[in-house]
Amino acid sequence: MMGRAVPAQVRLGDDVASALRAGRPVVALESAVITHGLPHPRNLEAAECMAEAVRAHGAIPAICLVDESLLWIGADMDRAASVARNPTREKASVRDVGSVIAMGGAAGLTVSATVFAAALAGIQVFATGGIGGVHAPFGSGDVSADLLQLSRSPVVTVCSGAKSVLDIPRTLEFLETVGVPVFGYRTPDFPGFYLSKSGVSVPMVSSPAEVARVAHAQWDLGLVAGLVLGNPIPAQERIADEEWDAWLQEAQRSAQRAQIQGKAVTPYLLDRVATLSAGRTVRANIALLESNATLAAEVAVALIA
């Protein structure tokens, strides 16, 4: 993979640009989890952990965000921290990126916006916590832009499943409909974010090399869809089903009472479960982000080997 010309509104970090030019492994990192998913200052700690894990496993991290009318692919930690602290920062999915750039705003990028950015720069692997999907209750009409964009960007997305507040079977059905292959990493059960299992079976892959073979086979055919690789949360941080169900139900009740809607739903629920669990969900989230960053780096290395 060689670097490619990027549009004028895009800035590549120096180390990202030189790695891409030299064909060395790069891993894109999501920033909505930093700007909207985790409380300050644990969010910055999470960003550092992810970047460090990517470096420790032989790849260059590329935090993707919007700031000062530019789409940054490989923002440095100072810029990430300044966007995270900006009180007017937005959570941008792929449809919002153009308008935030045009208006001179700042934004953390969701999975949909990050896989778009990664593909634009020629980055083939991306690490996040959980992808968006089909919200429960079915019929609410809330389906994340992540799902369609995953079918349009040839990037391996390493995650610990879909966001814990979603309808997982319907999310996986949607990915099938739009042609996105989904795998479990060393597990036949799609991971359940804070829980190790979601209860839905997926094909299993057991090494970064195997993931790389599948990705090459698919992309060499000219298929543009990305791959979703579900990596279970590290065992010592996983949360028991009953505990999680209780916190989630309570959080959903208060979201309903407060009439939270649209893209505010996820940040609101995450904030509520963090409080209800006395911080356990935050710790679990950071642990899985770090573990996903590690696996993503290994896959990026394997893709180039």
Q: Which stretch binds ligand PSU (CB under 6 A): 60-68, 128-136, 173-181, 229-237?
A: 128-136
Q: How far apart are CA 98 and CA 85, in angstroms?
A: 21
Q: How far apart are CA 5 and CA 11, in angstroms?
A: 11
- 163 binds ligand PSU, rule: CB under 6 A: yes
- 50 binds ligand PSU, rule: CB under 6 A: no
| Smallest distance from Mn ion to CB 263, Å | 6
Active site residues: 30, 163
**Residue 229 near residue 146, CB atoms below 8 Å:** no
Between 37 and 208, CB nearer to ligand PSU = 37
- 196 binds ligand PSU, rule: CB under 6 A: no
**Residue 231 near residue 185, CB atoms below 8 Å:** yes
Task: Detail the DSSP E strand segments found in the chain.
Answer: 10-12, 26-29, 60-67, 70-75, 90-92, 107-109, 125-127, 156-159, 182-185, 204-205, 227-230
Q: How far apart are CA 305 and CA 299, in angstroms?
A: 10
What single-letter DSSP state applies at residue 233? P
- 167 binds Mn ion, rule: CB under 5 A: no
Q: Per-residue string for binding with ligand PSU, 248-287, x by CB under 6 A?
A: ---------------x--x---x-----------------
- 290 binds Mn ion, rule: CB under 5 A: no
Residue selected from 30, 67, 96, 189 as contacting ligand PSU according to rule CB under 6 A? 30
Residue selected from 96, 142, 146, 189 as contacting Mn ion according to rule CB under 5 A? 142
Residue selected from 20, 33, 63, 211 as contacting ligand PSU according to rule CB under 6 A? 33
